Chain A
Amino acid sequence: AQSVTQPDIHITVSEGASLELRCNYSYGATPYLFWYVQSPGQGLQLLLKYFSGDTLVQGIKGFEAEFKRSQSSFNLRKPSVHWSDAAEYFCAVVPPMDTGRRALTFGSGTRLQVQP
């Protein structure tokens, strides 16, 4: 069965430090990959997406993610974290188009705290 794993439930970093949030997926073929961010009481905002091509994708708010097929990973990174980045981050996948499925499967999320 398709699954998405975010091994880190909670991460705390200092403001200005670099950040990497891990995401691994389990699926026969490469799915479509997404990262979303959710602030408390809010909906989910799309940070970036990967479908094909260049394995390093740039997103909004200074985030980037790298797709590594050999590791079935799609880790999210930011070189310098801002206090406003404190939120919950979700990795999500959609199966390849030929499956007919469109539903997002989400990881369990990583809650990011930023220390001053």
Chain B
Amino acid sequence: NAGVMQNPRHLVRRRGQEARLRCSPMKGHSHVYWYRQLPEEGLKFMVYLQKENIIDESGMPKERFSAEFPKEGPSILRIQQVVRGDSAAYFCASSEGHPNQPQHFGDGTRLSIL
């Protein structure tokens, strides 16, 4: 029974390139959440998606960041024209949706910007 799968585990990009982070939720989970952990900062919510819908994107930066969760395939967090400040660990979590169902986390993608 696989958990939340994130890939890649590590991603290196040069400034100005695009970064794509993938997340496959746990089996049976249809709700996906993305969080960012910046160095010396805590975990911050970015976006909450269900299949084909963005439910809450209140934590997403207004520019360069986007997320999707298509009908088929993993959820994708996309960062365009990356800058040094985007270097962080990005975690995906999934749940069954009800708030009393806990969110289960993947191992994260460590993004480094050269």
The residue from B31, B43, B56, B99 contacting A106, defined by CB atoms under 8 A apart: B43
Contact size range, B: 20 to 34
Q: Please provide the chain B residues from 62 to 114 with a CB less than 8 Å away from any CB of chain A in the complex.
A: 91, 93, 95, 97-100, 102-108
Contact with A along B13-37 (1 / 0, CB 8 A): 0000000000000000001010100
**Bound-complex Cα distance A107 to B44 (A):** 10
A102-B33, A104-B45, A107-B42 known; A94-B99 Cβ under 8 A:
yes
> What 1/0 mask marks residues of chain A from 45 to 57 whose CB sits below 8 Å from any chain B CB?
1100101000000
B12 CB–A CB distance under 8 Å: no
Whether the pair A103, B104 counts as a contact (CB closer than 8 A) is: no
Q: How large is the interface on A (under 10, 10 to 19, 20 to 34, 35 or more residues)?
A: 20 to 34
Contacts of B102 in A (CB 8 A): 34, 46, 49
Looking at the complex, which one of A90, A92, A101, A105 makes contact with B56 (CB distance below 8 Å)? Answer: A101
* Interface residue from A43, A96, A108 paired with B108 (Cβ < 8 Å): A43
A100 and B56 CA atoms in complex are apart in Å by: 10
CA distance A43 to B4 in the complex (A): 10
CB <8 Å contact, A108 and B42? yes
User: Complex Cα distance A51/B102, Å?
Assistant: 10
Q: Mark A4-38, 1 if CB is under 8 A from B, else 0.
A: 00000000000000000000000000001010100
Q: Is B55 an interface residue (CB 8 A)?
A: yes
Pairs across A and B, CB under 8 Å, 29 listed: A34-B102, A36-B105, A43-B6, A43-B91, A43-B106, A44-B93, A44-B105, A45-B105, A46-B102, A46-B103, A46-B104, A90-B42, A94-B99, A96-B99, A97-B99, A101-B56, A102-B31, A102-B48, A102-B56, A102-B95, A102-B99, A103-B33, A103-B45, A103-B48, A103-B59, A104-B103, A106-B44, A108-B42, A109-B42
Interface residues of A (CB under 8 A from B): 32, 34, 36, 41-46, 49, 51, 90, 92, 94-97, 101-109
